[in-house]
Structure 1
Amino acid sequence: MRVILERSNLLKSLGHVHRVVERRNTIPILSNVLLTTEGGNLEMKATDLDLEMTEAAPASIEQGGGTTVPAHLLYDIVRKLPDGAEVMLKTDDSGNSMSVVAGRSTFRLQCLPQTDFPELSAGQFSHTFSIQAEDLKLLINRTQFAISTEETRYYLNGIFLHTIEVGSKLMLRAVATDGHRLARAEIEAPSGSEGMPGIIIPRKTVGELQKLLDEPDVTVQVQLSDTKIRLQIGTVVLTSKLIDGTFPDYQRVIPTGNDKELVIDRQSFSAAVDRVSTVSTERGRAVKLSIGDGHVTLAVNNPDSGSATDELPASYEAEPIEVGFNARYLLDVAGQLSGNDARFLFADAGSPTLIQDTADERVLYVLMPMRV
């Protein structure tokens, strides 16, 4: 193999695919990126056996072929080459090493045969549809913070994506929960998604998707089966296994009868939560909200270091209520809201609280209170 590429094109593509590769691998080939020539492109592929990413970069191909080289090492080399450099990648006759040549710099990397590189076989996809990158980004960005990191409840370690009828409309809905909070976002279901299976997209795949959905005008091609999802975003193809589990019936925890409404300035509220939680030993300490007519008092009490209170004006006309929340969870939810105000709907101090975005009806959050 002998190919020549612009450094910027090679760096951009490697920047995407190398992230899939784990830093520590017991299987040596999984540390490598597969390089193959395809038409007028150099195609790069990396996998961790659960997630596979492929991207093609335009190249001048003098001799076709393929090999695998250490992904992070190649990325670091290309990253440190000067801007505008032309990079030549060429394998020796034995196929055991590859040279990276740019100007007067030459690197030799150990290769492993491309025949050893595992293929994440996708099987048959039952559903195919297109979605705007902007819409997919909304579904992911507004819910991913609530994904559970508790490995024992593996079925919560991702975003649950499914279609659901709301009134006369079919919606594509994303839900994530860790048992303490729940995030839900929805858009009108794109054509082709009707009857799709409910799927759980793993946390790592969600993280990679977030980084790829930078350009809002791009159309993303989505292919689904019961066990895999494949997304094509421009020149990048992401194939991932899905979490094999049943997502809980989240509808049961979304309250419907909460009638005590609090409307408060979102930025002032975030800043106040951040201020009073300074005295707690950890961000997870409860913040007590004492809500009365026209105001909210925030209080944190830490027996080891002291206490803090802060008062904010707010719109509230129901009977006074005192309720406690995890400070970090409050800040996470407030950070997702796009409107100037946040709307809280309470039932009582021990029941789940509903939080709505005054500027976007497509998203909704539920927070479980804490004892204070």
Structure 2
Amino acid sequence: MKFSAERATLLKALAHIQSVAEKRNTIPILANVLIQAANGQLSLKATDMEIEVVEEVPAKITREGATTAPAAVLYEIVRKLPDGVDVELDQADSEGPLLLRAGRYATRLNVLSVDDFPSMGAGDFPHRFKLPATTLHSLIDRTRFAISTEETRYYLNGIFLHGTEVDGEAKLRAVATDGHRLARVEADLPAGAAGMPGVIVPRKTVAEVRKLIDEAPEEVEIALSETRIQFTAGPVTLTSKLIDGTFPEYERVIPRNNTRILRVGKKDFADAVARVAAISQERSRPVKLTLEPGLLTLSASSAEQGVAKEELDDNRISYDAEGLEIGFQARYLNDITDQVEKEVEFAFADSASPTIVRDVDSPSALYVLMPMRV
């Protein structure tokens, strides 16, 4: 096998590949990238047995063949090469090392047998549809902060993607929750997605797909089966296993009768939360919201540092319901308000019940936040 490729093009592909390749080396071949030059095409493939990513790379192929090389090492070498150089990879025979040349630089990389490289297989994907990259971007960014990291509740370790009907209209809905907060975001159900199964897309897959979206063309093709999901964005195809579990009936935790409504500018509120929360270094520090008509008081305290308080009056808030005191973890408040464009709406019931949070300018998103005792 022998080919040459532009350094920038190869580096971009290796960045995608090496982030999927297994780094713990429990199975050595999983730390390698499969390099295949065949039928005039160069492709790179990596897998950790849960995710597989394949990328087509423009290259000048002199001799066809296939090999595997350490993904992280190859990425670091190419990353440190000077801009503008062509990178040549040459393996004289399948048993020998892989020679890399770029300008006056040269190195040899040890390889592992192509026969040992695992494949997740093509398989059937009965459901196929396309989403605008901006829509997929929104579904991911506005929900992934609520994905649980608690491995014992593995069925919460991803985004629940499914079709539903809202006021007679078919919608594609993404939901994530960790038991403390819930994020639910909707988009129009694309053609081809009708009848799709509800699936839980794993946290790592969500992160890898999110990286691809920034470089994706206008649309991303999604293919689904009961056990796997595949995303194709330009020259990159990412295939992933799905979480084998049942997502909880999340609608049950969304309150229906929260009638105390607070509206406040996103920046005013987020900045005030950050200032009062700075009094404490505790990660789970609570911020208390004290509400009365025309006035919101935010406060936080620390046994070591004292008390911080800030008021937002009726020039910056809208609230005309009865008084209320309620507390939330500062980080959770920030995670949700980060998803809001301009104005955030809180709908309260009482100090012990879940609170609904919305982006006033984006009704397709809804968040639920559990209060803390303060």
- Provide TM-score, normalisation by structure 2: 0.97
- Displacement of 1:93 in angstroms is 2.6
Give the Cα separation in 1 of the matches to 2:278 and 2:75.
40
Aligned to 2:235: 235
1:186–1:363 CA contact under 8 A, matched in 2: yes
Matched, 1:361 2:363: yes
- Aligned to 1:323, which of 313, 326, 342? 326
**8 Å Cα contact 1:218-1:234 kept in structure 2:** no
Amino acid at match of 2:333: L
Greater mean deviation of Cα atoms: 120-129 or 79-88: 120-129
| 2: CA distance, partners of 1:137 / 1:95 | 43
| Equivalent in the alignment of 1:259 | 259
Q: Please state if 1:336 is matched with 2:330.
A: no
Distance in 2 (CA, whole Å) between partners of 1:298 and 1:283 is 18
| Structure 2 unmatched runs, 5+ | none
Instruction: Quote the residue 2:303 is aligned against.
Output: 303
CA distance in 2, matches of 1:120, 1:9: 26
CA deviation map 1:249-273 (0-9, x unaligned): 0000111111110001110110111
How much does 1:216 deviate? 6.8
Partner in structure 2 of residue 277 of structure 1: 277
Partner in structure 2 of residue 350 of structure 1: 352
* Residue in structure 1 matched with residue 18 of structure 2 by the alignment: 18
Residue segments in structure 1 that go unaligned for 5+ positions in a row = none
The answer to whether the Cα contact below 8 Å between 2:289 and 2:326 also exists between their aligned partners in 1 is yes
Paired residues of 2:146 and 2:183 also in contact (CA < 8 A): yes
Read off the aligned partner of 1:356 and give its amino acid letter.
R
Q: Which residue identity lines up with residue 90 of structure 1 in the other structure?
A: D
Letter of the structure 1 residue corresponding to residue 89 of structure 2: L
**Number of residue pairs the alignment of both structures matches:** 371
Matched, 1:192 2:192: yes
Question: What pairs up with 1:12-51 in 2 under 5 angstroms?
Answer: 12-51=12-51
Q: CA deviation at 1:42?
A: 1.4
Q: SS in structure 2 opposite 1:69?
A: strand
Query: Against the structure 1 CA distance between its residues 122 and 351, is the aligned structure 2 distance closer, same or farther, given a 3 Å change threshold?
Result: farther
Q: Which residue of 2 aligns with 1:136?
A: 136
Q: CA deviation at 1:235?
A: 0.3
Between the aligned partners of 2:194 and 2:278, the Cα distance in structure 1 is 48
- Dislocated runs of 4+, deviation >4 Å: none
Identify the range of structure 1 (281-290 vs 141-150) with the bigger mean alpha-carbon deviation: 281-290
SS of the residue aligned with 1:247? coil
**8 A Cα contact 2:217 2:233, kept in partner:** no
Q: Which residue of 1 aligns with 2:52?
A: 52
Q: Residues 22 and 38 (structure 1 numbering): CA distance in 2 closer, same or farther, change over 3 Å?
A: same
Q: Secondary structure at the match of 1:10?
A: helix
Alignment of 1:88-237 (within 5 A): 88-93=88-93, 95-215=95-215, 217-237=217-237
How many Å separate the matches in 1 of 2:232 and 2:107?
33
Cα deviation for residue 96 of structure 1 reads 3.0
Q: Is the 8 A contact 1:294 1:315 kept in 2?
A: yes
Q: Percent identity?
A: 53
Per the TM alignment, residue 123 of structure 1 is displaced from its structure 2 partner at its CA by: 2.2
Work out the CA distance in 2 between the residues paired with 1:215 and 1:169.
31
Q: Taking structure 1 as reference, are residues 71 and 217 closer, same or farther at Cα in structure 2, changes over 3 Å only?
A: closer
Find the aligned partners of 1:94 and 1:165 in 2 and give their Cα distance.
55
